[in-house]
Structure 1
Amino acid sequence: MAHWNLSLFFGFQILWTMFSLCSAFPTGAPASACENMLPMHTGVQPQQTLAPYEFLVNSPSFLNGQPINIQILGPAYRGLLLEARSFGSTTALGFWKNPPNNTKLLQCSGNPHGAVTHSNTNLKTRQTTYTWLPPNSGCPPVVTFLATVAQSHEIYWTNIKSKVIWKNPKASCGAETLTRTLSATAPLLLVLFEYI
């Protein structure tokens, strides 16, 4: 009888492990994870300790049309969700290009190139370089890179942030909004100046 219970226990463990691996999205994060960046690993919560990862960003500012290279420094990892965002927003900004080996693009915020995620559970290292292009219009004053990084199904960290990078004063993305605003308010300003 004890032999039967032990076999049943191991059979249950094997099924549970298979179910857990299937629900862990080994071929990349789903688009539903774009906003909260949680990997939805069944029965597993993010680590509460300080993440052993940090960003290496090759420029302190961004200019539309100029790529920014990012590396994630720290131990090798298997899973990833990486986005660029403006302060206080959950919208993925800009465009990721040429995802490195073992990664792929993910559509986030309606943008087919809005994020990068893993394409398999092969190890990624600090030598893995991700390339981001700022948006062509509507650039915010600052951008932060945000990541969820998983060492395994059970061990992952969320809300890993880079230092902010600033919009270069020479950037033209966003200038069209200012031009439209000024041209729309010009008649009102002329009327006000007549009364001064």
Structure 2
Amino acid sequence: MFQMENMMMMMKIAVLCVIILAMPDIVTGYPSGAPSGACESMTPNHGAPASVPPVPYTLTVSSTTYNCGDVITVTLANATSGDTFKGFLCQARPDVNRSSTVGKLAASGALAATTNCGDGAITHSESSDKISAVFTWTASGDNPTVNIVCTVVKAKTTFWVKGVRQPITFSGTTGTCSKAMGSRGSGFLVLVLSILVALQWKLTVA
């Protein structure tokens, strides 16, 4: 009987320890960025429903059109001075409702961010209050439209899923991006072959 009571007590202590260890995530959400499980839906697992519009944030880009390899600056910012945000998950999606991304999103300036969801996404890596987040999108491919779309977290239970978005349209000729990549690859191959021929000629002369 005594052993059974001790066992029950130990089990209760173990459960309590698990709860205490989990408390930081329960209280603060995900201070180191959106987890991989949120990549597809872009929905924080905060145990609360998403907030409804209006969204107190804006998303602007340095250019609303792109061509092969362009680098475009993206700015997520508060619409009014009182509306800071703690976290964000932004992705470059040809289709807002599908999880596939294109190009590469990267932090700019002093922004602390990471890419938990792959090259075509970016998320916060710390949870301080922010008035803006500046990053870049490096274009790839020739999708007719690429949408920079963001989920923004103001507080654990206050967030907007895909709340802000900005479309960027392709301004080039379809198929030219892949051709340009092929041309660069061919040029490199020609250079390597030229070096090999020169080396062979030098060895023959010697």
| Common fold: TM-score over 0.5 | yes
Distance 1:26 1:37, change over 3 A: same
Identity of aligned residues (%): 25
Deviations 1:97-147 (A, max 9, x none): 245545322243xx3x22111111112223x31111012x3x311111111
- 1:77 alignment partner AA: F
Cα distance, 1:17 vs structure 2: 6.1
Give RMSD over aligned pairs.
2.6
Distance in 1 separating the partners of 2:93 and 2:144? 11
Which residue matches 1:46?
50
Deviations 1:29-72 (A, max 9, x none): 0111111001101x311102321112111101012222111111
- 1:68 alignment partner AA: I
Q: Is the 8 A contact 1:102 1:120 kept in 2?
A: no
Three-state SS of the structure 2 residue aligned to 1:164 is strand
Is 1:85 matched up with 2:90? no
Which residue matches 2:74?
70
Is 1:142 matched up with 2:145? yes
- 2:59 alignment partner AA: F
- 1:115 alignment partner AA: A
Matches within 5 A, 1:104-119: 104-108=113-117, 111=118, 113-119=119-125
Which residue matches 1:131?
136
Cα distance, 1:160 vs structure 2: 2.1
Gap regions ≥5 residues in structure 2: 1-18, 181-206
Gap regions ≥5 residues in structure 1: 1-13, 177-196
- 1:125 alignment partner AA: I
Out of 147, 157, 179, the position equivalent to 1:154 is: 157
Which has more radius of gyration?
2
Distance in 1 separating the partners of 2:130 and 2:169? 28
Q: TM-score, normalised by structure 2?
A: 0.66
